[in-house]
Structure formats: C-alpha cells, structure tokens
C-alpha cells in the first residue's frame, strides 16, 4: 500500500485519489478549508498552507508528497522535500508562479513566446508600450489564474488606468497575440527521466476561463509541442505531470503562454478518453512506477461546468457523456464539475458537444 500526501484538497486532489484507488493508495490532504471536496477520499488536515506542524503531520502520514494547488509558497515544497520525496520540484513551482521567471525560462530554452517586458513602475510601462505597441495585455507577475489579474490595453488611455488598477504589484506587459486558437499539451516525466506526452488539445476559453478541450491526435504541431515540453521538463529535472499552454499563430507557430506544474483542467478528458489518465500517470511518476500509455481511446471532449450545474439527467441522456460533479457549492465563476463527451467519430462528437453545450447553464460571473 502507498501513502500519498497532497497539499491542496480541491477537485484535482479528488481526481488524483480516484485514480489511486486501483493502486490501493491512501491519501492525506492538507487544506485550510472546512470540507474540501477531496476529503471524501482521504484524511483531511485542516490547517494553513504555511503551518509547520501540519506539514509534519502530512509527512508522517506519507511515503511521498505532491501538491495540487499552485499558490502555496515554493518553500513549503522545499521544506517537505527535506523529510520525504516531494514532487514536482520546488523550482518548477517557483518558476510557474512568477510570469517573468517563466518567460525567461522559455527564452533561455529557445522556445518562442509573445513579446514581453517586466514592469515595476510607470517608466517601465511607458517604455514597454512604446516598444511592444498596443494592443497589449498587462498581467500581474504572481497569483494570476483563469484570466484574473490581467487587462487588455487597447488605447493609450487604458495604459494609465491599468497602472492605477494593477500597479501596486509587479507586472509584465505582453504583446496581444492574434492567435488562430489555443492549445495545450499535458506531459509526464518519471523519476528516471522518461517522458510521455498526451495528444495536443485544442482549448476554447470564455472570459479567460477554460470552456472546452478537444484532443487532436496527429496534429501537425504535436512534435514541436513535445520538443518544447521536453526542454522544459529536462531543464527543471521535473517529476510528475506538467501542462503547457500555447497560442497557435499562422497555423504553424507555437508561442508559449504558460506552464502549470500539476495536473491540469485541459487534461481532464484523459480520465475516460486516454489509456492512462493524467491523474494516474502523475501518481505513477511520483511513486516511481512505470508510466502508462497516453494514447487517446476515442474521439472525445471535455466541457467545464462553471457556476451552476446543468440538469444532470438531461446531460446523462446524451449518448457518450460522463458526469463529474466535484461536490462544491456553486458560485459564479467557480469550477464545480466537468462533462466528458465520447463518440465514435468526429462528426458525432461535434453533434454531441453541441447538444451538451445547449444544456449548460454556466455562470462565469
Ligand atoms: P493566462 O492567465 O495568461 O493563461 O491568460 C488567460 C487567457 O487570456 C488565455 O488563455 C488567452 O485566452 C488570453 N490571453 C492571455 N494572454 C494573451 C495574449 N498575450 N494575447 C492574446 N490573448 C491572451
């Protein structure tokens, strides 16, 4: 039996625990909230993220430690790693938490990215706008997610307003990318350095939040995406699952947007749609088990359920659907579930996605 400690008790931890059932794994979750949704599948230590005594209780319970929540201090992972193997490495977390560090990493590995500048004051911003031009996107360097902490700047007036709104914290300015579409790849690296990359996924966002992910095996950009992913994984001496988000420009250019050092929303389709899910391969990687096959099993898609649940039975009546209710209280803009849609062919998949989309009552806030 293996014991796994997870920092964070949200839906990602919950789905990790569900994947661990086949290995008879036991889970302990550290999470400050009253009843995090993962607590259904393990022991819950309710404590602050930085609580040293809670970290000690977590490691005592665990053979290996991981995290599913990205906004913990990287030092927490460093500290946990002194007592138990802790993956992914703290360095990967620290890099992903700081957009400037992340973009500097892409640049150092010759991975193309949108024009970007570091902004610490109004002078930096004026110089960056002069160099990069408008439209541009200003983003907080840390703690941004789901499109939060960022603003599109269209005209010179927006530049002054943006600084007043976001300027109290370190920022970056990025050139606005007129992309064809957004894609991501989910990759896993074992502690022996072996990597596997699931088929590239086409993502559609609404109000900065992921709406739909569709894997596209055989995509012309798969080899390039894998090459970029492998460079980052090797550089960070990574163990576990990592997500890579890209913009596709002019059909053939991949521009790196961001990395997530964890299982990722755009990989949820792998639960039913791939031979091995991202959750299972993450567990296999961090516990030193052989990695599983990442092939897609059938045409499929993942649709997010945000803010409000659709009528469950109506969704279940659509052939090929699988229902995932995270058991979280609905709130505008909150991810509370997802639906996987499976089909026999692409045309049927398109029809089923359209049917499920008509049933969604998402409230993005
Ligand atoms: P992020 O938090 O950086 O992933 O941004 C959230 C979403 O905002 C992305 O998935 C894109 O849809 C959009 N976005 C972010 N940065 C840019 C950019 N430089 N150009 C165009 N759209 C962007």
- DSSP symbols for 120-177: SSHHHHHHHHHHH-SSEEEEESSS--TTTTEEEE-SHHHHHHHHHHHTTS-EEEEEPP
Task: Report CA(47)–ligand 1 centroid distance (Å).
Answer: 33
Is 145 a residue whose pLDDT tops 90? no
Give the model confidence (pLDDT) of 293-316 as tens digits: 999 999 999 999 999 999 999 999
The answer, yes or no, to whether any atom of ligand 1 lies below 6 A from the CB of 135, is: no
Closest by CA to 233, choosing from 97, 67, 64, 87, is: 87
Is 233's C-beta closer than 6 angstroms to any atom of ligand 1? no
- Kindly state the average pLDDT of the residues 307-333: 98
CA–centroid distance, residue 116 to ligand 1 (Å): 13
Q: Give the mean model confidence (pLDDT) for residues 96-120.
A: 97
Q: Residue 205: which of 193, 197, 213 has the closest Cα?
A: 213
Instruction: Judge whether residue 350 has pLDDT over 70.
Output: yes
Closest C-alpha to ligand 1, atom 2:
147
Ligand 1 centroid to residue 16 C-alpha, Å: 27
Residues 6+ apart with CB under 8 A from 1: 24, 25, 26
Summarize the confidence of residues 93-117 as an average pLDDT.
98
Q: Report pLDDT digits (tens) over 150-194.
A: 899 999 888 887 877 886 789 999 999 999 999 999 999 999 999
The answer on pLDDT for 103 being more than 80 is yes
The answer to whether the CB of 242 is under 6 A from ligand 1 is: no
Residue 343: what pLDDT? 98
> Could you tell me the pTM of the whole model?
0.97
Q: What pLDDT, in 10s, does the model give residues 250-261?
A: 999 999 999 999
Please give the average per-residue pLDDT across 278-300, as a whole number: 98
Would you state the pLDDT for residue 149? 82
With a 6 Å cutoff on the Cβ, whether 294 touches ligand 1 is no
CB 138 within 8 A of CB 151: yes
Question: What spacing in Å lies between the alpha carbon of 288 and ligand 1's midpoint?
Answer: 35
Over 80: is that where the pLDDT of 112 sits? Answer: yes
Query: For the chain, what is the mean pLDDT?
Result: 96
Res 167: pLDDT: 66
| Per-residue pLDDT at 310 | 98
User: Domains in the chain, ordered, with CATH?
Assistant: 3-86 (3.40.50.20), 115-175 (3.30.1490.20), 181-359 (3.30.470.20)
- Residue in 278, 275, 205 with CA at minimum distance from that of residue 241: 278
Nearest atom of ligand 1 to the alpha carbon of 148: 2
Q: In the predicted model, is pLDDT for residue 266 greater than 90?
A: yes
Q: Say what the pLDDT of residue 9 is.
A: 98
pLDDT at 264 (0 to 100) = 98
Task: Give distance in angstroms: CA of 324 to centre of ligand 1.
Answer: 26
Query: Is residue 137 in contact with ligand 1, taking CB distance under 6 Å?
Result: yes
Task: Specify the residue for token string 């599109």.
Answer: 152
Residue 147 Cβ < 6 Å to ligand 1: yes
3-class state of residue 249 by DSSP: strand
């Amino acid at each position: 039996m293996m014991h796994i400690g997870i920092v964070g008790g949200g839906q990602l931890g919950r789905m990790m625990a569900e994947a661990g059932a086949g290995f008879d794994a036991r889970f302990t979750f550290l999470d400050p909230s009253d009843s995090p949704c993962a607590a259904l599948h393990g022991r819950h230590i309710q404590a602050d993220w930085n609580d040293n005594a809670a970290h000690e209780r977590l490691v005592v319970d665990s053979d290996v430690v991981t995290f599913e929540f990205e906004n913990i201090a990287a030092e927490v992972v460093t500290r946990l790693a002194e007592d138990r193997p802790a993956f992914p490495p703290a360095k990967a977390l620290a890099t992903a938490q700081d957009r400037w560090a992340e973009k500097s990493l892409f640049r150092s590995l010759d991975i193309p990215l949108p024009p970007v500048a570091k902004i610490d004051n109004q002078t930096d911003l004026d110089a960056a706008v002069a160099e990069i031009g408008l439209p541009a996107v200003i983003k907080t360097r840390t703690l941004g997610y789901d499109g939060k902490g960022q603003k599109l700047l269209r005209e010179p007036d927006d530049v002054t307003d943006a600084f007043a709104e976001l300027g109290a914290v370190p920022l970056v300015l990025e050139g606005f990318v007129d992309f064809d579409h957004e894609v991501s790849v989910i990759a896993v690296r074992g502690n022996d350095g072996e990597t596997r990359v699931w088929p590239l996924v086409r993502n559609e966002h609404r109000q900065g939040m992921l709406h739909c992910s569709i894997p596209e095996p055989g995509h012309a950009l798969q080899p390039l995406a894998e090459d970029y992913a492998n460079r980052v994984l090797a550089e960070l001496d990574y163990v576990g699952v990592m997500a890579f988000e890209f913009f596709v420009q002019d059909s053939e250019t991949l521009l790196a947007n961001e990395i997530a050092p964890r299982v990722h929303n755009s990989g949820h389709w792998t639960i039913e749609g791939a031979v091995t899910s991202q959750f299972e391969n993450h567990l296999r990687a961090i516990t030193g088990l052989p990695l599983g096959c990442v092939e897609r099993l059938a045409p499929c898609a993942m649709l997010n359920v945000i803010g409000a649940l659709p009528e469950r039975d109506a969704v279940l009546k659509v052939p090929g659907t699988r229902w995932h209710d995270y058991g979280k209280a609905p709130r505008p803009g909150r991810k509370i579930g997802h639906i996987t849609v499976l089909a026999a062919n692409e045309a049927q998949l398109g029809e089923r996605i359209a049917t499920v989309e008509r049933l969604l009552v998402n409230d993005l806030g």
